[in-house]
Amino acid sequence: MGKSNIDDIIKKTNASLCIDCGECTGSCPVSRVNVHYSPRLSVEKLLLGYFNEIKNDDDIWSCLTCGLCSVRCPSDVDYLEFIRLARKEIRKYTNQLNYSHNRILQKTMEIMVQGQSQNRTDWINKDLRVSKKSQYLFFTGCLPYFEVIFEHLNIHPLDTARNAIKILKKIGIKPMVRNDEVCCGKDLLYNGDEDNFVKLAKLNKKMIKESGAKKIIFSCPECLQTMKEIYPQYVGKMNVELIHITQLVDEALQKEKLHLDSSKTKKFTYQDPCALGRGLEIYDAPRNIIKNIPESELLPMEREREDSICCGPSAWISCTNYTKRIQFVRLGQAEKTGAQVLVTACPKCTIHLSCALSADDVDYNIKLMDITTLIAETMKG
Amino acid sequence: MKSKKTKQRKTKGKTQKKKTVKTKKDIEPRIITFACNWCSYAGADLAGVSRMQYPPTSRIIRVMCSGRIIPTFILDALTDGADGVIVSGCHFEDCHYISGSKKAEKMIESTKKLMHLLGMDERRLRFELISAAEGAKFASVAREFTEEIKNIMKEKHGKK
């Protein structure tokens, strides 16, 4: 790595403005459980030009990319951007990352890059009404793949997609679901694999253009954030409206297009997904939905909104004891509220937290539920 | 005159292309066989020692247990040039590690689902239970699977 590359990273991330205050390390959920990990030190090493040290550290791969440090930094150093650029550079020297799930998720994405026709719409059964041509597009993301890969966790990520279609039908939207969509590629980008990310982004852009959609509805906040914030940097503007399903439902509730019935469980608490919360600043829409369920109670967790803790590993790398401990802390906080159900709005939160719940040596008295499932179960009529 | 010349060149190029395609058709399929150390690899050994004839299409990779195989190995093989993959383990009750081949069976199921999602032909992957005494079975599986892969390749070729 040349000096020009380091200068480039410093310039793009405002790293030279770092005042060495340590706010990032103090906030970092990884630093809490792993004393050797320090975002501040990584940035310092970069500023001093110790690239070889950064290269050989595991530190750069331990970051959860939750964005808590970027939000809190008083000097506006973009640590997320720093991680992304540094990983891209380091990736040139090594391919041996600490992949989780045996690299299967990265492998499926790499196969998707080739653009061959998939069979990803098999989950649509007769009960679900989807149209071939509509101005609304429902972006499934990797849910069909999660359904197969995380079978052992007894979760059904595709139910999220099915329920989303049901909810949209209630609101009066008949969306199309495309077979030629591919993964949004965020995980590859944060693995440092920029080339394949750009290829995926181009494929998705082409798909959206061909579909003629004007509004794309997402159930996965990561896909939404990637398309909204990262795609324009790589493949140009998309000229479509991108919206999360909770925003749509919240709107429908306010306009009284949709009514919720009371549910068996009364006490809920909500986990802010990093991409939806800190990334897109959608905090109130999902909370309003839960509050709209009659007789229900939304109990605040110890750390929520901007201060919310990440569900654990990101980009399907570095699933370690440390991330497991972060998940246990989060589940403990959720249980402490006295809620019966922990609602999340991100498939990755569901996967990671249910993995922690299924551990042998812990016993948390709380259930997990995706917000689309909750809405679909309590919808009237 | 010029246009004629270019036309000739074009036709030349076309015939050349066709020729290369024809030769591709005749290429033997490449098959990766993951064989477990305790049963299937010994089975393959027996097939060799007993001089049973089977096509030289499969490259055998010895693993300690078929339960060690993960979907990524299979997808890596298939995307890096293999036309088919056989995963071969002990019979369920004979597994050296008690439940390895059962694990492998589950893994194969989910890999097939993934292959279906990704638009790959599921027939390119096969799971077999071959014990150390079944040299003949190993040879016949290799023969059958080679034929099947050849058919799949022909089908694919016909479609194009």
A331-346 per-residue burial string, b: 16 or more CB within 10 A, e: under 16 = bebbbebebbbbbbbb
Chain A residues near residue B118 by CB distance under 8 angstroms: 108, 111-112, 116, 118-119
Last residue of a domain, one of A224, A249, A274: A249
Tens digits of residue pLDDT in B109-156: 999 999 999 999 999 999 999 999 999 999 999 999 999 999 998 888
Give every CB contact of residue A269 below 8 A, 6+ residues apart in sequence: A298, A299, A300, A301, A334, A337, A339, A341, A342, A343
Length of chain B: 160
Give the number of domains in chain A. 3
Residue A354: name the closest of A200, A157, A130, A79 by CA. Answer: A157
Mean pLDDT of A244-250: 92
Alpha carbons within 13 angstroms on the beta-carbon side of residue A34 total 20
Mean pLDDT of A207-216: 90
| Poorest-pLDDT segment among A2-11, A259-268, A273-282 | A2-11
Confidence of residue A5 (pLDDT cuts 50, 70, 90): confident
A104 and B72 in contact by Cβ < 8 A? yes
Domain check: are A115 and A60 in the same one?
no
pLDDT of residue B104: 94
Does residue A216 surpass a pLDDT of 70?
A: yes
3-state secondary structure of A126: coil
Domain check: are A242 and A111 in the same one?
yes
Does A95 map to a domain?
Answer: no
Confidence of residue A380 (pLDDT cuts 50, 70, 90): confident
Integer Cα distance of A325 and A32 in angstroms: 10
For B117, the closest of A107, A119, A151 (CB atoms) is A119
Tens digits of residue pLDDT in A23-76: 889 989 999 888 888 888 888 888 887 877 777 777 888 888 888 888 888 988
In a mutational test of the B interface, the residue from A96, A109, A119 whose CB has the highest number of chain B CBs within 10 Å is A119
Share of chain A above pLDDT 70, in %: 99
Confidence of residue A134 (pLDDT cuts 50, 70, 90): confident
Mean pLDDT of A1-30: 83
Integer Cα distance of A357 and A366 in angstroms: 9
Domain check: are A245 and A105 in the same one?
yes
Domain B29-159 has CATH 3.40.50: yes
Which segments in chain B show pLDDT lower than 50? 1-13, 15, 17, 19-22
Chain A residues near residue B72 by CB distance under 8 angstroms: 102-104, 107
Give the residue carrying structure tokens 């196969």: A111
By C-alpha distance, the chain A residue nearest B71 is A104
Domain ranges of chain B: 29-159
Domain check: are A136 and A203 in the same one?
yes
Confidence of residue A1 (pLDDT cuts 50, 70, 90): low
B117 and A145 in contact by Cβ < 8 A? yes
What is the ipTM, given to two decimal places?
A: 0.88
B71 and A144 in contact by Cβ < 8 A? no
Phi, psi dihedral angles at A92 (to 5 degrees): -65, -25
Domain check: are A109 and A243 in the same one?
yes
Last residue of a domain, one of A249, A275, A302: A249
Confidence of residue A198 (pLDDT cuts 50, 70, 90): very high
pLDDT of residue A45: 84
Does residue A2 surpass a pLDDT of 70?
A: no
3-state secondary structure of A11: helix
- Average of per-residue pLDDT values in chain A: 88
Integer CA distances (angstroms), A87 to A9, A14, A55, A79, A193, in order: 11, 17, 9, 12, 8
Alpha carbons within 13 angstroms on the beta-carbon side of residue B141 total 26
Chain B residues near residue A148 by CB distance under 8 angstroms: 110, 113-114, 117
pLDDT of residue B92: 92
Tell me the shortest Cα–Cα distance from A63 to chain B, in angstroms: 24
Domain check: are A219 and A270 in the same one?
no
A102 and B79 in contact by Cβ < 8 A? no
A112 at B interface, C-beta within 8 A: yes
Integer CA distances (angstroms), A289 to A220, A355, B69, B71, in order: 17, 26, 44, 39
Domain of residue A241 covers 101-249
A108 at B interface, C-beta within 8 A: yes
Cβ pairs bridging A and B (under 8 Å):
47
Last residue of a domain, one of A90, A115, A137: A90
